[in-house]
Structure 1
Amino acid sequence: MANSSEDGELNVSFHGTSNSCCVSNVTNINFTSYEQSPDFYVIIPVIYSVICAMGLTGNTAVIYVILKAPKMKTVTNMFILNLAIADDLFTLVLPINIAEHLLHYWPFGEILCKVILSIDHYNIFSSIYFLTVMSVDRYLVVLATIRSKRMPHRTYRAARIISFGIWGLVTLIVSPFFVFANVYKDGLNITSCGLNFPKPERFWFKASRIYTLILGFAIPVSTFCILYIIMLYKLRHTRLNSNAKALDKAKKKVTIMVFIVLAVCLFCWTPFHLATIVALTTDVPQTPLVIGISYFITSLSYANSCLNPFLYAFLDDSFQKSFRKMLECRAD
């Protein structure tokens, strides 16, 4: 859902982050005919249900292990914990998205509309911001290892304070979407939940997409790309002493894990943001193919919320050991 207009200037009906990426620049859009299609009607709820089940199971396991296992209380794991909380929060509201898709209208009232749309946007910003902070942390760790310096201020408590700061920043960024989220009736008199902008709607809608693109993609992606380029350059052009040569093996493993989680996040979210650029600069025709691509891109961005736990399970030995140990304790 997005914005509505009584004069027909811009009438789009889709969720804040979903189904909007490819068609946000088209006027008088109506998805009802496509949503009634048996393919979309059945496939989308199935995909969302799988993402929801995998995401809730995996992220809840990550949260449980990090909170319960003493050895898991590290700086990196504090950021991973918050990343899992953000993903869990999003997957918890996916059933409401599924219900709305099946019903073809919004039955849950205005308060829940504002909450769900805000959480939908939290999903865009929180993951990328926590990954950016993890990249900064990795950069500082690698730099300190190269110089054989200690980092006395890099503590679990400091990571917790930074995490609270990120949640505060994301809340501030998402607050305009909470304000504009409303329940309204579209041209077909169907109750919808979306971003209901003041006039001129087209200007506000484009501004909201540019706002999301810059704060939710361009700035954080530029930040961690620059950091990793500098990190690789320093590693390649610095003669490491025996202490730093293996980058302390464990630190090297964590750095690789953060890099892979980052790469998967980019793989899942880049199509969404690229499609936003296309939608802002081109009049995309409303065709079944375009709607299908839009659903695929949205599902891919949603899928990021359930992939991270499996990456930790494959890439982090300490997570595997802690998880196995806890399972053994529960079995006993």
Structure 2
Amino acid sequence: MSVSELWVCSEAASCYNSMDFNSTNCTSSDQFLLNPDFYVILPVFYSVICAVGLTGNTAVIYVILKAPKMKTVTNLFILNLAIADDLFTLVLPINIAEHLLQYWPFGEVLCKIILSIDHYNIFSSIYFLTVMSVDRYLVVLATVRSKRTPFRTYRAARIISLCVWVLVILIVLPFTVFAGVYINPDDTERKSCVLSFPSPESLWFKASRIYTLLLGFAIPVSTICLLYAIMLYRLRNMRLNSNAKALDKAKKKVTVMVFIVLAVFLFCWTPFHLSTIVALTTDLRTTPFLIGISYFITSLSYANSCLNPFLYAFLDDSFRKAFKKMLECRPA
């Protein structure tokens, strides 16, 4: 089961406590089972996300690695973002299989791998978007002051990207440790891949949600919002006080693209993090409607992994031209 499904147990069941979705205390409850068609429609939707995301992100990776003109600092961060999305879509078929089977048949090791990659998807995307926002801020600031950025090199971007991956691995490590296969005592054949916290489980569950909310959303998003606020303020002042243009056409396009990619990410992931706040502050009764909402929120966050390639294609002329050039058939 994907850990992004915050409000749902693996067999769409209620838990002993409304705060303990994804805990080892999930027990079967037929009254919360959804329409059987739902368990077919959802894997189909996930399959579309997987196919589109894998194709699109692989194309982005191929173009950036093969086209010499695409080797820029911003594109290197985009490359890492595409790798993170590709990594997630590669393991999505296992989540699809679990939905169809309605139990976890793949063992303990694969459970830890899948839940870890699912968490990589939560943290890596927002951290690379934060780095891209910092990069845009430095470029805009340097342009406003008519200065160069000698430290902004491709080599420095590679080092920063490596540091981001190391940071994400360290952040996700606790989830890897607690990931495991839970066997329902009432039905030993029904296994679930969940986060198995020690006692008191309710407290550990709340701590894990707060941990994810702060490190995976609140802190990086606040940083991004502050950077863009300062950036817009400086550009506004420059328009008022100078006839010089703050950014040339190419830099404007890249900045707008990064902003739109960020906006789409927030649109897809904000409901997930808001659901965390709701789960931590309220005591909602588990109902089929609530379970349906949780799956919708999960699907929306998954969809973000296949949207970015389309944004690059529509917003980045250099990417579009490089991709078309790669598709050209040349005689040997």
Q: Secondary structure at the match of 1:154?
A: coil
The structure-2 alpha-carbon separation of the partners of 1:292 and 1:302, relative to structure 1 and needing over 3 Å to count, comes to same
Tell me how far 1:35 sits from its aligned partner. 5.3
Query: What 5-or-longer segments of structure 1 have no aligned partner?
Result: 2-14
Equivalent residue letter for 2:60: V
Partner of 2:147: 149
Partners of 2:175 and 2:118 in 1: how far apart? 10
Q: Which runs of 4+ in 1 moved over 4 A?
A: 21-24, 26-32, 239-242
Partner of 1:204: 204
Kindly indicate whether the alpha-carbon contact (under 8 Å) linking 2:128 and 2:164 is maintained by their aligned counterparts in 1.
yes
Tell me how far 1:284 sits from its aligned partner. 1.3
Equivalent residue letter for 2:229: I
Kindly indicate whether the alpha-carbon contact (under 8 Å) linking 1:131 and 1:262 is maintained by their aligned counterparts in 2.
yes
The structure-2 alpha-carbon separation of the partners of 1:187 and 1:284, relative to structure 1 and needing over 3 Å to count, comes to farther
Which of 18, 22, 26 pairs up with 2:5? 18
Partner of 1:250: 250
Partner of 2:69: 71
Partners of 1:270 and 1:231 in 2: how far apart? 23
Tell me how far 1:254 sits from its aligned partner. 0.2
Partner of 1:132: 130
Q: TM-score, normalised by structure 1?
A: 0.91
Partners of 1:291 and 1:330 in 2: how far apart? 52
Query: Greater RCO between the two (CA within 8 Å, min separation 6)?
Result: 1
2:235 is the alignment partner of 1:235: yes
Kindly indicate whether the alpha-carbon contact (under 8 Å) linking 1:21 and 1:273 is maintained by their aligned counterparts in 2.
no
Equivalent residue letter for 2:145: R
Kindly indicate whether the alpha-carbon contact (under 8 Å) linking 2:8 and 2:291 is maintained by their aligned counterparts in 1.
no
Kindly indicate whether the alpha-carbon contact (under 8 Å) linking 2:33 and 2:288 is maintained by their aligned counterparts in 1.
no
Equivalent residue letter for 1:25: M
Between the two proteins, what is the percent identity of the paired residues? 77
Kindly indicate whether the alpha-carbon contact (under 8 Å) linking 2:127 and 2:164 is maintained by their aligned counterparts in 1.
yes
Tell me how far 1:270 sits from its aligned partner. 0.2
Equivalent residue letter for 2:5: S
Cα-to-partner distance string for 1:166-215 (whole Å, 9 max, x where unaligned): 00000000000000001120243321111000000000011000000000
Aligned residues between the structures: 318
Q: TM-score, normalised by structure 2?
A: 0.91
Equivalent residue letter for 1:200: P
Partner of 2:97: 99
Partners of 1:207 and 1:21 in 2: how far apart? 18
Partner of 1:180: 178
Q: Secondary structure at the match of 1:151?
A: coil
Equivalent residue letter for 2:61: I
The CA RMSD over aligned residues, in Å, is 1.9
Kindly indicate whether the alpha-carbon contact (under 8 Å) linking 1:143 and 1:231 is maintained by their aligned counterparts in 2.
yes
Partner of 1:320: 320
2:57 is the alignment partner of 1:59: yes
Which of 165, 178, 185 pairs up with 1:167? 165
Q: Secondary structure at the match of 2:328?
A: helix
